[in-house]
Amino acid sequence: MDLNTFSLGVLHEMSPAQLKELAAQIRVFLIDKVSKTGGHLGPNLGVVELSIAVHRVFDSPKDIILFDTGHQSYVHKILTGRADQFDLLRQRNGISGYPNRRESAHDVIENSHASTALSWADGISRGFSLSGQSDRHVVAVVGDGALTGGMSWEALNNLSPESERNLVIVVNDNERSYSPTIGGLATYLTTLRASREYERILGRGKRMLHNTPVVGKYIYGTLHGLKKGIKDMVAPQGMFEDLGFKYLGPIDGHDIAAMEKTLLMAKEFGAPVIVHAITEKGRGYTPAIEDMAEKFHAVGIVDPVTGKPLKASAPSWTNTFSDEITAIGRENSKIVAITAAMLGPTGLDKFAQSFPERTIDVGIAEQHAVTSAAGLAYAGMHPVIAIYSTFLNRAFDQLLLDVALHNAGVTFVLDRAGITGDDGPSHHGIWDLALTGIVPNMHVGAPRDGARLKEILRECVAIENAPSMVRFPKGAVPTDISAVERVDGIDILHRGLAAQVLVISVGAMAGMAIEVAQLAKAQSIEITVIDPLWVKPISPAVIALCANYSTVVVMEDGIKHAGIASTVSEALRNTGTNCSLHSIGVPLEFIEHSKRAEILEDLEITPAAIVQQISGWIS
């Protein structure tokens, strides 16, 4: 069948054999397309049958289908008529790697930060019930990883199970986040899944399901009785049921017929139901199955046959951090590394190999990570929390009131700072400088290269009575950029002759700032470029230096609003320093997915565009 012209109408007409063929075809399609664009291959290969079953049982867009975290919505996109757009998956002007309201009426939320779908589902289903739309159902597909996030539990606590509303929660249990999901919840799911009884129960459950006609609540009751029995056998504590939910499972998430029958029963129930589906991440693709680390959770451009990257990757900022924190951990036994379910992507895997007892994976729980780090600091340790810049947003209150207010020596290592590119608006690391700027006693360093990353990281872990942070971008680390001179802790990167323009370059903007100075020189504009290394608090020496220039330009890889230019502006005002201040940075907008270079070009953050702007400012 032609996926490019596929529609939900066709899906409803298909026989079991055709559905099986469709699933196989979707897998081939996903491997072919995602290997060319990069994306979340493993998670999507795992939800092919599950997504087909959900779409056959529920009537989207009248019924609302939500995917938490959103990275596993590719099959949903194919089924809802977007297969023909997969050549431009995550590319400029192409479809997003996450649900997107502009693409389709079948996408209702634009998520990608984990653990939000159950709260959305709570609100939407409650709203439907209050507004007389009780014929509409809400389905939330949530991974075992996303279930480790606090928001999921806040939502479960609020999903009043007695209430009359149509809500089905499908737990997509593949035992993994990036790496295996760990913690008490994972253990509980394992109890349900891996009991010695499982095979027998699953077999009996399946037979029951296949032989049982679906006629609403009565049958649900029969089946539920059976399931309750199962659950009591394998998990006597019955956590989901103790929370008041009807629980159906475990179901083989790759068995379309079993999934359909279970979902139909859940649909009929009229109150929140949990369907526990067991799936395999990377299903059907040998390189993903054999990838013991991450099951191809997220891949770049790869050879579709071998799964190997087509381009050798250059040494990255992440590698530099990974090596250095491991070295620091060897010297300092107080260092504890914390990750929120991203051991490999943050580079903490190396530290974990050497110091497993000092490595903590909290699950997708950034808020908990930060407050528990404050506790570790109180107990005499020095926690280093390594997360992507965008995920710090979620733990702002904990940073402010649990770490900073308590003068806790906690170091934050923010990878993927600045414009990141293909993951779109929610994944750009452009808020951290503004957010940390309003945290009293916060120390923020922005390295321009690997040498400075190591230096600043070491200084961060030496700060014992306040939060410290080092931020760096995604991708390859540049070769070290040596300073002409270091004065009062500030690196002079380029000295213009009798320059009237001072460029304050923040972190990884240094390479471009030097290019700007060289390009401007060719146009007879002399510019001095400095790298303050530490941007919060901004050194008085930087402000004193500004007094020598008529024009000061701050270049930063974050939102201009409340960023480093704002900090400098306030300091200039407070000291009565008279110079005109300008800012190169990211406007206060949500920025769509595209390649990083394309976005920077749109934002006029290129050497040529910046020289042109400076030339306008000084004339």
Ligand X SMILES: Cc1ncc(C[n+]2csc(CCOP(=O)(O)OP(=O)(O)O)c2C)c(N)n1
DSSP label of 59: -
Distances (CA, A) of 161 to 165, 273, 610: 9, 8, 57
Comparison of 143 and 249: residue with beta carbon closer to ligand X: 143
Select 172 or 468, whichever has its Cβ closest to ligand X: 172
Q: Does the protein bind ligand X through residue 178 (CB under 6 A)?
A: yes
Within 10 Å of residue 619's Cβ, how many Cβ atoms?
A: 6
CB atoms within 10 A of CB 280: 18
Pick from 51, 60, 177, 420: which binds ligand X (CB under 6 A)?
177
3-class DSSP state of 247: strand
Q: How far is CA 196 from the centre of its chain?
A: 35
Q: Which of 89, 171, 340, 581 binds ligand X (CB under 6 A)?
A: 340
**Contact pattern from residue 221 through residue 260 relative to ligand X, giving x for each residue in contact according to CB under 6 A and a dash for the rest:** ----------------------------------------
Residue 394's φ and ψ, nearest 5 degrees, are -70, -25
The reply on whether position 391 binds ligand X by CB under 6 A is: yes
Q: Which of 77, 366, 416, 560 is catalytic?
A: 366
Q: Please enumerate in sequence order all residues whose Cβ is within 8 A of that of 293, keeping only pairs 6 or more positions apart, or say none.
A: 179, 344, 349
**Which amino acid is present at 504?**
I
Four-point Cα dihedral 387, 66, 149, 195, nearest 10: -120
Active site residue 570: no
Catalytic residue among 246, 281, 536, 560: 281
Backbone φ, ψ for residue 358 (5° rounding): -110, 25
3-state secondary structure 70-130: CCCCHHHHHHHHHHHHHHHCCCCCCCCCCCCCCCCCCCCCCCCCCCCHHHHHHHHHHHHHH
Q: Which is nearer to ligand X, 341 or 591 (CB)?
A: 341
Kindly state whether residue 74 participates in binding ligand X, applying the rule CB under 6 A.
Answer: no
Distance CA 39, CA 30 (A): 10
CB of 405 to ligand X, least distance (A): 23
Phi-psi region of 286 (alpha: psi -120 to 50; beta: other; left: phi over 0): alpha
Binding mask 298-337 for ligand X (x = CB under 6 A): ----------------------------------------
Question: Does 170 contact ligand X by CB under 6 A?
Answer: no
- Which residue among 145, 347, 437, 558 contacts ligand X (CB under 6 A)? 145
Secondary structure class of 400 (helix, strand, coil): helix
The residues pairing with 138 across neighbouring beta strands, listed in sequence order, are 64, 167
Site stretch for ligand X (CB under 6 A), options 111-119, 217-225, 245-253, 585-593? 111-119
Buried/exposed 115-144: b ≥16 CB within 10 Å, e otherwise: bbbbbbbbebbbebbeeeeeebbbbbbbbb
| Active-site residue, selected from the candidate residues 82, 231, 394, 454 | 394
Active site residue 394: yes
Task: Please tell me whether residue 26 adopts helix, strand or coil conformation.
Answer: helix
Tokens (6 digits) for 354: 């050497």
Number of residues that bind ligand X (CB under 6 A): 27
- State the minimum distance, in angstroms, from the CB of residue 283 to ligand X: 11
Give the phi and the psi of residue 361 in degrees, each rounded to 5: -105, 110
Least Å distance, CB 582 to ligand X, is: 34
Residues 6+ apart with CB under 8 A from 227: 205, 247, 248, 249
**Judged by CB under 6 A, which of 33, 35, 37, 43 binds ligand X?**
43
* Phi, psi for 242 (deg, rounded to 5): -65, -30
Regarding 146 and contact with ligand X (CB under 6 A), the answer is yes
Under the binding rule (CB under 6 A), the answer on residue 392 touching ligand X is: no
| Least gap, CB of 345 to ligand X (angstroms) | 8
Question: Is residue 341 a contact point for ligand X (CB under 6 A)?
Answer: yes
CA atoms within 13 A on the CB side of 138: 27
**Residue number with CB closer to ligand X (149 or 467):** 149
| Phi, psi (deg, nearest 5) at residue 10 | -65, -40
Rounded least distance, CB 18 to ligand X, Å: 26
Does the active-site annotation cover 471?
Answer: no
Q: Which is nearer to ligand X, 165 or 394 (CB)?
A: 394
Contact call for residue 342 and ligand X (CB under 6 A): yes
From the list 130-138, 171-179, 259-267, 457-465, the region that binds ligand X by CB under 6 A is 171-179
Of 37, 60, 69, 436, the residue at the interface with ligand X (CB under 6 A) is: 69
Which range, of 5-13, 108-116, 320-328, 471-479, touches ligand X by CB under 6 A?
108-116
| Residue 590 beta carbon to ligand X: minimum distance, rounded to whole angstroms | 16
The site for ligand X (CB under 6 A) is made up of 43, 46, 69, 71-72, 112-114, 143-146, 172, 174, 176-178, 181, 281, 297, 340-342, 364, 366, 391, 394
Active site amino acids? 281, 366, 394
